Structure 1
Amino acid sequence: MPNKSLRILIADTQHFHRMRIERLFNQLGYFRVAPVQGVNELLSLMEYSTEPFDLVVVNGALADGQLNLLDFFVDNPQARHVFIFDGLQAQLPIIAGGHVQVSHAALPELASITQLMATVDPRQPFIGTVISVR
């Protein structure tokens, strides 16, 4: 069963992208999702939030040169895990480990969100995970 208390933030300028990503999380049982459309909203939520977000999913093109997303999130205590997609647009290298991950995929799909949540919510058995009972 998913940890329903996890706080997830989605940041993308495209409304359709935000809604599509949110639906992927909903399919996996996560409903505590906050979508934002701009870098100013992202910065405000990160600065004034009373508790850290468990996961921030952000389009690499969102900052559009205003902010280096990788530098911003590497030591930010307000984000436990970060997934930056469309990293090619922001000229970010692919990073597949640690609490900040960068993907060059234009938009995350169910498989990548499922794999990501296996790290964020390790108690949750996901589709494709083998569980042995003795």
Structure 2
Amino acid sequence: MSNKALRILIADEQHFHRMKVERLFNHLGYYRIAPVNSLEELLTLVDYGSEPFDAVVINASLGGEVLNLLDFLRDHPQVHHALIYHGQQARLPICVEQNVEVSHGALPDLPSVQRLMAIIDPPLPFVATVISVR
């Protein structure tokens, strides 16, 4: 069962890409999603938001030469976990460190979103209930 209160931010310049990634989260039962199309919007929501984001999923090209996305997302207190995709665009190495994962895929796929959410929202352990009849 997915935690409906989790906050997710998707950042990509392309509307179609944002929609496609959002549908992956929707497929897994997550609907509290803020899509943005620019680095400026992302920085505004992250820096001035009242609540932290549980996950930030961002196209590496948004950082460009202006911002080191890896350091920013790793160290920002308002970002708990992040997935940077299209990492070869920003010459980022494929890695998983602390709370940030970098992928060279053009877009996240369902397995990568599932891996991210398994860390953020792990499934509850199965507990068998025994009913005794007397």
Query: Do these two structures clear the TM 0.5 threshold for a shared fold by scoring above it?
Result: yes
Give CA deviations for 1:55-90 in whole Å, capped at 9, x if unaligned: 000001112211110111121001000110111101
Task: Give the CA deviation at 1:122.
Answer: 1.0
The structure with the larger Rg is 2
1:98-113 matches, cutoff 5 A: 98-113=98-113
Amino acid at match of 1:62: L
Give the aligned residue type for 1:75: D
- 2:86 maps to 86
Give ranges in structure 2 of 5+ residues lacking alignment.
130-134
Counterpart mapping for 1:1-134 below 5 A: 1-123=1-123, 133=128
Matched-pair contact (CA < 8 Å) for 1:3–1:124? no
Matched AA of 1:59: N
What secondary structure sits across from 2:58 in the alignment? strand
In structure 1, the gaps of 5 or more residues are 126-130
User: Is the 8 Å Cα contact of residues 118 and 124 (structure 1) preserved in structure 2?
Assistant: no
CA-atom RMSD, angstroms? 1.6
Report the counterpart of residue 128 of structure 1 in structure 2. none
Q: Spell out, residue by residue over 1:25-80, the C-alpha distance to the aligned partner (whole angstroms, 9 max, x if none).
A: 00000000000000000000011100100000000111221111011112100100
Query: Alpha-carbon deviations, 1:68-127, whole Å to 9, x = none?
Result: 1011112100100011011110111111242011111110011111111100111368xx
Three-state SS of the structure 1 residue aligned to 2:90 is coil
Task: State the TM-score, normalized to the length of structure 2.
Answer: 0.90
Relative to structure 2, which stretch is displaced further, 31-40 or 111-120? 111-120
CA distance in 2, matches of 1:110, 1:121: 15
C-alpha distance in 2, partners of 1:76/1:55? Answer: 12
AA partner of residue 91 (structure 1): R
CA contact (8 A) 2:11 2:57 kept: yes
| SS, match of residue 71 in structure 1 | helix
- Structure 2 counterpart of 1:58, which letter? I
State the TM-score, normalizing by the size of structure 1.
Answer: 0.90
Native 8 Å contact 1:61 1:86 kept in 2: yes
Q: Percent same amino acid among aligned pairs?
A: 57
User: What is the distance in 1 between the residues matched to 2:88 and 2:128?
Assistant: 42
